[in-house]
């Protein structure tokens, strides 16, 4: 631990203190004295309140455990009554609607993809911010969205046959989205602007306009031969780029070199589950990147093909409208920031008694102070044009915990002299107690809530943990077909619409849906992810910029506003459905099925944990047993570890089986990582912090509060960092035999 500076009522890590005073606060108008006195007040007030809230979580879980042990908890009516009696299910507030003001159009008015990125990875974070626009050609060419079989496969160099099917697919998209009055975009020879209208010369010799002329939004270059033409479909823009010299444009009848589409309307810069930040040093890196994004100064070196380029934030895009006026479109995703949850405490700040301070409180204060650079236009770019700072709050349990976040935000606004409700709150509906009390949760933040979002991965982990004592749960792959999850997703949308979170001209916020966790399976995503919009969502999470570009196609297909309008008549499914348990009653799994389930879970745990603990990587693409790369983060780890813990508790698997499978899967993970520089093999370092973390996560999993993984991960990562600093006890010195 580095040394701390004693301030009035708290002590603060020196590096953090210096970072805040010399990098964050200058030009905000907030003095270091005001800031740190404010933080001391926050810590003194909210430390005890948050500890009390965590104790309440534990009390409820203990009551549920005892109830489930005593009754097997299968009678719906009795269970629902019990959950109300203990205060797990709260009274629903009287009908209300949210009144959040000053939300940007990306949140309230236009439906589109939401990207998530670990903010401590500057290269990825910049890529994400710039993923507002993506090349449709690149996304189709570079993924499995189109067939990869010969002769259409990707190769070392450009394959013109693959290029042809890309162009055909993209023209189909144009015909469906911005159709011509006559003919097809596939027959276009040229596009030109005359008297404020777009004309398209066709192969047949005729000229067509657009079927909906108002979709023509702008252009660049000479009207008779524009360089770009811009379309607008439901607020989402599409840009045709013409260049008859370009490798693609010169083979295209109309000279189209690329089609760029608006992709990630918003991006969550994540300080939470995709990040491994265990001490002040790590946290300063997290905050510093957020600062660079808000000030527009962040850069990253990107090596490619033997050359290194510098990546920075993309500028806005300028066009001329059909009637000749200038038009500027945002060049970057609207940036939101996700803080850690209420259960996290950190020694980078200590309270008056020397106890760790609540990390979510420190996050709120620092990321908001950093957000002031955007509000005050201290950098070259603007993020929010409405003067808001968007904070996403994860893992809150029930309405009182949301009220705590609301109170923390209000205090931070006072410290920073920001107008009330400048800080907006995204509520992750990812804990069971929040799902049960969603209306109350929204009510607790009704003047600042800007989204509710079904974070289904954490939610599944919490589901397994809450019913840990009731019996063995279904296999992980079957979770998505369980009644609780259907009720969870449907109720979230129904309650969101009921409380006024629909997209529209005066929209207050979004209804979001969860992550696509198979970053390389884009064909499957194209097939399946549109369902989230048909179910009423106005945004849904994607793991990469390419996924954002392809998922954007769904928003052109599905009219979210119309879907939501139609759905406002649907009442939320009953609480009983939500409270049904994912138990595998009467399931008779074969030995092979049990072994396969165990291997799947342990391999994903080890594959993720080894990178987290030894390398400090918080989000990884881990190949599963079928070699499908899965996005693994702390929430997927929560599911896998709780699942193994549950099967252990109920005797589906034995400790010996788990021990043997851990070693088998460690060898597999080692093989998968053999080319990773600096990788420390798990199988030969079974007393190393990574392997030990994996063991603890399963063998002590049932005892982890709410099934969270952070305590074990953080402790083990700190141990690994300490070992790396002390080469005399480096893990490679304590090798185990492989067998």
Ligand X SMILES: CC(=O)SCCNC(=O)CCNC(=O)[C@H](O)C(C)(C)COP(=O)(O)OP(=O)(O)OC[C@H]1O[C@@H](n2cnc3c(N)ncnc32)[C@H](O)[C@@H]1OP(=O)(O)O
457 annotated among ligand-binding-site residues? yes
DSSP 8-state code for residue 155:
-
- Phi, psi values for residue 334, rounded to 5°: -70, 125
- Measure the CA–CA gap between 393 and 428, rounded to whole angstroms: 6
Q: Which is nearer to ligand X, 288 or 338 (CB)?
A: 338
Q: Which is nearer to ligand X, 100 or 539 (CB)?
A: 539
The residue within the footprint of ligand O=CC(=O)O, chosen from 278, 515, 575, 648 (CB under 6 A), is 515
Q: What is the smallest separation between the CB atom of 404 and ligand X, expressed in angstroms? A: 21
Q: Which stretch binds ligand X (CB under 6 A): 94-102, 352-360, 487-495, 541-549?
A: 541-549
633 is annotated as an active-site residue: yes
127 is a site residue for ligand X (CB under 6 A): yes
58 annotated among ligand-binding-site residues? no
Provide the Cα torsion 479, 482, 487, 488; round to 10°: -10
Count of residues interacting with Mg ion (CB under 5 A): 4
CA-nearest of 205, 197, 204 to 229 is 197
413-419 long-range contacts (CB < 8 A, ≥24 apart) are 413/368, 414/38, 415/30, 415/34, 415/35, 415/38, 415/39, 415/41, 415/42, 415/365, 416/28, 416/30, 416/35, 416/38, 416/368, 416/369, 416/372, 417/29, 417/30, 418/368, 418/372, 418/375, 419/387
Q: What is the smallest separation between the CB atom of 316 and ligand X, expressed in angstroms? A: 19
| CA angle 182–183–187, rounded 5-degree value | 145
359 is a site residue for ligand O=CC(=O)O (CB under 6 A): no
Which residues, numbered 592-651, are part of the site for ligand X (CB under 6 A)? Answer: 619-621, 631, 633, 635
Number of residue whose CB is nearest ligand O=CC(=O)O: 455
Which two tokens mark 464?
């397994």
- Residue 260 pairs in a beta bridge with 135, 239
211 annotated among ligand-binding-site residues? no
CB-neighbour burial class of residue 575 (10 A; exposed 0-12, middle 13-18, buried 19+): buried
- Measure the CA–CA gap between 69 and 63, rounded to whole angstroms: 10
- By a kind-dependent CB cut-off of 5 to 8 A, residue 302 interacts, out of ligand X, ligand O=CC(=O)O, Mg ion, none, with ligand X
Q: Which is nearer to ligand X, 60 or 119 (CB)?
A: 119
Which residues, numbered 371-430, are part of the site for ligand X (CB under 6 A)? Answer: none
Which residues, numbered 387-446, are part of the site for ligand O=CC(=O)O (CB under 6 A)? Answer: 428, 430
Count of C-beta atoms within a 10 Å radius of residue 32 = 15
Q: Which is nearer to Mg ion, 136 or 635 (CB)?
A: 635
**Pairing mode, strands 389-393 and 334-338:** parallel
DSSP 8-state code for residue 473:
B
Binding mask 414-433 for Mg ion (x = CB under 5 A): ----------------x---
- Measure the CA–CA gap between 31 and 51, rounded to whole angstroms: 29
- Residue 238 pairs in a beta bridge with 231, 261
360 is a site residue for Mg ion (CB under 5 A): no
- Phi, psi values for residue 37, rounded to 5°: -65, -40
| Cα–chain center distance at 156 | 32
Which two tokens mark 435?
């799902």
**Contact predicate 483/135, CB 8 Å:** no
Q: Which is nearer to ligand X, 79 or 432 (CB)?
A: 432
635 is a site residue for ligand O=CC(=O)O (CB under 6 A): yes
Residues in CB range of 374: below 8 A, 6 or more apart: 294, 382, 383, 384, 389
118 is a site residue for ligand X (CB under 6 A): yes
Count of residues interacting with ligand X (CB under 6 A): 25
Which two tokens mark 333?
């995703």
521 is annotated as an active-site residue: no
Q: Which is nearer to Mg ion, 54 or 254 (CB)?
A: 54
**Contact predicate 419/31, CB 8 Å:** no
669 is a site residue for ligand O=CC(=O)O (CB under 6 A): no
CA-nearest of 705, 481, 647 to 580 is 481
The residue within the footprint of ligand X, chosen from 161, 302, 562, 738 (CB under 6 A), is 302
512 is a site residue for ligand X (CB under 6 A): no
Which two tokens mark 628?
């499908």
Q: What is the smallest separation between the CB atom of 519 and ligand X, expressed in angstroms? A: 5
270 is a site residue for ligand X (CB under 6 A): yes
HSE-up of residue 364 (Cα within 13 Å, Cβ side): 33
H/E stretch holding 345: strand 345-350
- C-alpha gyration radius of the chain: 26
Length of the chain: 739
Q: Which is nearer to Mg ion, 178 or 619 (CB)?
A: 619
Count of residues interacting with ligand O=CC(=O)O (CB under 6 A): 10
635 is a site residue for Mg ion (CB under 5 A): yes
The residue within the footprint of ligand O=CC(=O)O, chosen from 457, 479, 648, 698 (CB under 6 A), is 457
Q: How far is CA 709 from CA 633, 693, 694, 714, in A?
A: 11, 9, 10, 9
- Residue 239 pairs in a beta bridge with 230, 260
Three-class SS of 189-256: EEEEEECCEEEEEECCCCEECECCHHHEEEEECCCCCCCEEEEEECCEEEEEEECCCCCCHHHCCCCE
337 is a site residue for ligand X (CB under 6 A): no
Q: What is the smallest separation between the CB atom of 428 and ligand X, expressed in angstroms? A: 8
462 is a site residue for ligand X (CB under 6 A): no
Q: Which stretch binds ligand O=CC(=O)O (CB under 6 A): 208-216, 449-457, 475-483, 645-653?
A: 449-457
- By a kind-dependent CB cut-off of 5 to 8 A, residue 127 interacts, out of ligand O=CC(=O)O, Mg ion, ligand X, none, with ligand X
Provide the Cα torsion 680, 683, 685, 689; round to 10°: 80
104, 347, 429, 633: the active-site residue: 633
Number of residue whose CB is nearest Mg ion: 458
279 is a site residue for ligand O=CC(=O)O (CB under 6 A): no
Q: Which is nearer to ligand O=CC(=O)O, 313 or 442 (CB)?
A: 442
Q: Is 422 helix (H, G, I), strand (E, B) or coil?
A: coil
- By a kind-dependent CB cut-off of 5 to 8 A, residue 471 interacts, out of ligand X, Mg ion, ligand O=CC(=O)O, none, with none
27 annotated among ligand-binding-site residues? no
- Measure the CA–CA gap between 378 and 291, rounded to whole angstroms: 11
The residue within the footprint of Mg ion, chosen from 38, 118, 183, 455 (CB under 5 A), is 455
274 is a site residue for ligand X (CB under 6 A): yes
Q: Which stretch binds Mg ion (CB under 5 A): 2-10, 189-197, 452-460, 529-537?
A: 452-460
Give me the sign of the Cα torsion angle 529, 535, 536, 537.
Answer: negative
The residue within the footprint of ligand X, chosen from 544, 564, 601, 686 (CB under 6 A), is 544
Q: What is the smallest separation between the CB atom of 355 and ligand O=CC(=O)O, expressed in angstroms? A: 28
Q: Which is nearer to Mg ion, 116 or 167 (CB)?
A: 116
338, 475, 611, 716: the active-site residue: 338
- By a kind-dependent CB cut-off of 5 to 8 A, residue 456 interacts, out of Mg ion, ligand X, ligand O=CC(=O)O, none, with ligand O=CC(=O)O
724-727 long-range contacts (CB < 8 A, ≥24 apart) are none
Q: Which is nearer to ligand O=CC(=O)O, 515 or 666 (CB)?
A: 515
78 is a site residue for ligand X (CB under 6 A): no
Helices of type H across 1-31: 14-19
Q: Binding site for glyoxylate: residue ranges?
A: 338, 430, 455-458
Q: Binding site for Mg(2+): residue ranges?
A: 430, 458
Catalytic residue numbers, as ranges = 338, 633
Residues lying near ligand O=CC(=O)O in the complex (CB under 6 A) are found at: 273, 428, 430, 455-458, 514-515, 635
Residues lying near ligand X in the complex (CB under 6 A) are found at: 115-118, 123-124, 127-128, 270, 273-274, 302, 455, 457, 515, 519, 543-545, 619-621, 631, 633, 635
Residues lying near Mg ion in the complex (CB under 5 A) are found at: 430, 455, 458, 635
């Amino acid at each position: 631990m580095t040394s701390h500076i004693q301030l009035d009522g708290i002590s603060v890590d020196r590096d953090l203190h210096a970072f805040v005073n010399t990098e964050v606060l200058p030009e905000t108008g907030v003095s270091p004295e005001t800031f740190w006195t404010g933080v001391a007040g926050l810590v003194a007030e909210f430390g005890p309140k948050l500890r009390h809230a965590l104790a309440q979580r534990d009390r409820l879980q203990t009551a549920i455990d005892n109830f489930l042990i005593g009754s097997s908890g299968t009678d719906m009516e009795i269970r629902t009554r019990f959950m109300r009696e203990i205060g797990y299910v709260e009274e629903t507030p009287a009908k209300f609607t949210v009144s959040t003001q000053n939300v940007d159009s990306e949140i309230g008015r236009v439906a589109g993809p939401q990207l998530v990125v670990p903010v401590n990875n500057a290269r990825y974070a910049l890529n994400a911010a710039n993923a507002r626009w993506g090349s449709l050609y690149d996304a189709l060419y570079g993924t499995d969205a189109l067939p990869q079989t010969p002769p259409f496969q990707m190769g070392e160099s450009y394959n013109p046959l693959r290029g042809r099917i890309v162009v055909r697919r993209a023209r189909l998209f144009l015909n469906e989205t911005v159709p011509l009055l006559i003919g097809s975009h596939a027959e276009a020879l040229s596009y030109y602007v005359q008297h404020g209208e777009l004309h398209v010369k066709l192969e047949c010799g005729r000229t067509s306009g657009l079927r909906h002329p108002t979709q023509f939004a702008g252009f660049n270059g000479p009207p008779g031969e524009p360089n770009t033409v811009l379309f607008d479909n439901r607020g989402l823009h599409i840009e045709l780029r013409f260049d008859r010299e370009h490798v693609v444009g010169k083979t295209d009848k109309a000279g189209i070199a690329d089609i760029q589409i608006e992709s990630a309307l918003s991006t969550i810069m994540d300080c939470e589950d995709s990040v491994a930040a265990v001490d002040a040093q790590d946290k300063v890196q997290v905050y510093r990147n957020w600062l660079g994004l808000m000030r527009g100064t962040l850069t990253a070196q990107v090596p490619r093909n033997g050359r290194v380029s510098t990546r920075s934030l993309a500028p806005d895009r300028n066009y001329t409208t059909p009637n000749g006026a200038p038009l500027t479109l945002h060049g970057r995703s609207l940036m939101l920031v996700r803080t850690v949850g209420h259960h996290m405490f950190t020694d980078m700040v200590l309270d008056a008694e020397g106890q760790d301070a609540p990390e979510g409180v420190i996050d709120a204060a620092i990321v908001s102070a950093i957000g002031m650079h955007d509000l005050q236009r201290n950098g070259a770019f603007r993020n929010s044009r409405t003067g808001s700072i968007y904070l996403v709050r994860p893992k809150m349990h029930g309405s009182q915990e949301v009220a705590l976040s609301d109170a923390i935000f209000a205090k931070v606004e006072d410290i920073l002299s920001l107008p009330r409700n400048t800080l907006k709150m995204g509520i992750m509906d990812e804990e069971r107690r929040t799902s049960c009390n969603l209306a109350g949760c929204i009510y607790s933040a009704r003047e600042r809530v800007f989204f509710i979002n079904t974070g289904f991965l954490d939610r599944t982990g919490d589901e397994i943990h809450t019913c840990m004592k009731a019996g063995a749960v279904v296999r992980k792959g079957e979770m998505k077909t369980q009644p609780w999850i259907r009720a969870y997703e449907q109720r979230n949308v129904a309650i969101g619409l009921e409380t006024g979170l629909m997209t529209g001209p005066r929209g207050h916020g979004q209804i979001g849906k969860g992550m696509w966790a198979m970053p390389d399976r884009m064909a499957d995503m194209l097939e399946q992810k549109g369902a989230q919009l048909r179910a009423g969502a106005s945004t849904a999470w994607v793991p990469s910029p390419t996924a954002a570009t392809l998922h954007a196609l769904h928003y052109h297909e599905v009219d979210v506003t119309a879907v939501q309008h139609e759905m406002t008549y649907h009442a939320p499914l009953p609480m009983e459905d939500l409270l049904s348990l994912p138990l595998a009653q009467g399931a008779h799994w074969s030995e092979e099925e049990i072994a396969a389930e165990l291997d799947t879970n342990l391999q994903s745990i080890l594959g993720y944990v080894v990178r987290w603990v030894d390398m400090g990587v918080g989000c990884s693409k881990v190949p599963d047993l079928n070699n499908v790369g899965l996005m693994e983060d702390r929430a997927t780890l929560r599911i896998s570890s709780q699942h193994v813990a549950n099967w252990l508790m109920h005797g589906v698997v034995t400790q010996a089986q788990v021990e043997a499978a851990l070693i088998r899967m460690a060898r597999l993970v080692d093989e998968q990582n053999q080319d990773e520089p600096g990788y420390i093999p798990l199988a030969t370092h079974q007393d190393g912090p990574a392997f030990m973390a994996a063991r603890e996560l399963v063998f002590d999993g049932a005892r982890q509060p709410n099934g969270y993984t952070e305590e074990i991960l953080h402790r083990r990562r700190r141990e690994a960092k300490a070992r790396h600093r002390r080469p005399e006890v480096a893990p490679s010195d304590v090798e185990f035999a492989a067998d």
